[in-house]
């Protein structure tokens, strides 16, 4: 395949696999590194079914400094990195913080060190968790970064600081950190989607698993928040729209006229949906009736957050296009697919 080579770390994961598809669609040549600790090797075949192209794939752990250095030495034609590889479970990060600091920083430092001798564009997978409970809504990129609620969230904050400092003293390195809100949904082909291990920690995969009979009733954690229906509000974004934002970020850095050494963009829809609105949207989009109960508030949950995405629209020429109905219907089609075709 002719095209510019982009390394995608964690490229067989949920957001990574969708981004690999969009890179191929945009004429790039993605190369995947993933140690498969949280994903299936069958995703490579699924990507080929969607795009007609089988991406290069390497199975190793980026915590290994020697292997990372050797890989980048052998692949000098790689001109960009999209860095997803990280652990992200909030609960696990609280129980095993050292595991998270090691796994989420060693690969980043090894990558930066191994490509310091050449020009490199790097897109970092960050999160809206850096804002905590925002003082103003919608929250924009100038809002203060607040003390992280979890070790997992703290690794995102510290990684942003590392990248800003390193790019600030290196003319070779350009970085865009994408602070995403809540990715949901699946590819329109239903061939790739979210594959949570164990009980889902996120709302939408729990909904789809409940609807298909894998789970019992859905617990809505609190209905006494200061929101229109009393349940928590989040900015849900379709994973395909999110994947396209990574391509837009790479293109932005390739444009030498406009790209800064370091920049940050919110990636969301700019709209908030409550937990009950998501449940009702799923029922409306799929015709499936959901069984849910109202429980107590869950520790660590913030009341409401949604993003100001004007900066991404103006500078990256990117905008979310898919609505909550598409998110719900695609997530449901994916759940039905993996019941028939386990990965």
Residue 156 has pLDDT above 60, yes or no: yes
pTM, rounded to two decimals: 0.97
Contact criterion met (CB below 8 Å) for 136 and 307: no
Contact criterion met (CB below 8 Å) for 126 and 307: no
Q: How far apart are the first and last CA of the chain?
A: 27
Q: pLDDT tens for residues 275-322?
A: 999 999 999 999 999 999 999 998 888 999 999 999 999 999 999 999
Q: pLDDT tens for residues 328-339?
A: 999 999 999 999
Q: Where are the domains of the chain?
A: 5-184+237-268+307-321
Superfamily of chain region 5-184+237-268+307-321: NAD(P)-binding Rossmann-like Domain (3.40.50.720)
Residue 2 has pLDDT above 70, yes or no: no
Contact criterion met (CB below 8 Å) for 218 and 210: yes
Rounded to whole angstroms, the Cα distance separating 114 from 304 reads 40
Q: pLDDT tens for residues 81-103?
A: 999 999 988 888 889 999 999 99
What average pLDDT does range 13-26 have in this prediction?
98
Least confident of 187-201, 235-249, 327-341: 187-201
Rounded to whole angstroms, the Cα distance separating 273 from 257 reads 37
Least confident of 98-112, 224-238, 253-267, 276-290: 253-267
């Amino acid at each position: 395949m002719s095209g510019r080579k982009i390394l995608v770390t964690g490229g067989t994961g949920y957001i990574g696999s969708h981004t690999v598809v969009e890179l191929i669609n945009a004429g790039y040549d993605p190369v995947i590194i993933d140690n498969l600790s949280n994903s299936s090797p069958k995703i490579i075949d699924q990507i080929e079914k969607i795009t007609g192209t089988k991406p290069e794939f390497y199975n190793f752990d980026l915590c290994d400094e020697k292997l990372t250095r050797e890989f980048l030495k052998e692949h000098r034609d790689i001109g960009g990195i999209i860095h997803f590889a990280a652990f992200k479970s909030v609960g696990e990060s609280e129980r095993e913080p050292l595991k998270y600091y090691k796994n989420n920083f060693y690969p980043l430092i090894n990558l930066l060190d191994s490509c310091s001798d050449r020009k490199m564009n790097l897109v970092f997978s960050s999160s809206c968790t850096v804002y905590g409970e925002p003082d103003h809504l919608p929250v924009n990129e100038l809002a203060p970064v607040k003390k992280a609620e979890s070790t997992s969230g703290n690794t995102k904050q510290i990684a942003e600081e590392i990248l800003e400092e390193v790019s600030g003293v290196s003319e070779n390195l350009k970085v865009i950190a994408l602070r995403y809100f809540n990715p949901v949904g699946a590819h329109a082909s239903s061939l790739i989607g979210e594959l949570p291990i164990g009980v889902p920690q996120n709302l939408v995969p729990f909904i789809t698993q409940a609807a298909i009979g894998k789970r019992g009733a859905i617990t809505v954690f609190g209905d006494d928040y200061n929101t229109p229906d009393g349940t928590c509000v989040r900015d849900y974004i379709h994973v395909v729209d999110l994947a396209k934002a990574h391509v837009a970020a790479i293109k932005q850095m390739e444009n030498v006229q406009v790209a800064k050494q370091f920049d940050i963009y919110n990636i969301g829809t700019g709209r908030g949906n409550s937990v009950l609105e998501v449940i009702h949207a799923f029922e409306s989009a799929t015709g499936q009736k959901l069984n849910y109960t109202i429980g107590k508030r869950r520790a660590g949950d913030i009341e409401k957050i949604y993003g100001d995405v004007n900066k991404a629209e103006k500078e990256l020429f990117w905008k979310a296009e898919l609505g909550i109905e598409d998110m719900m219907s695609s997530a449901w089609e994916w759940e039905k697919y993996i019941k028939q075709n386990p990965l």
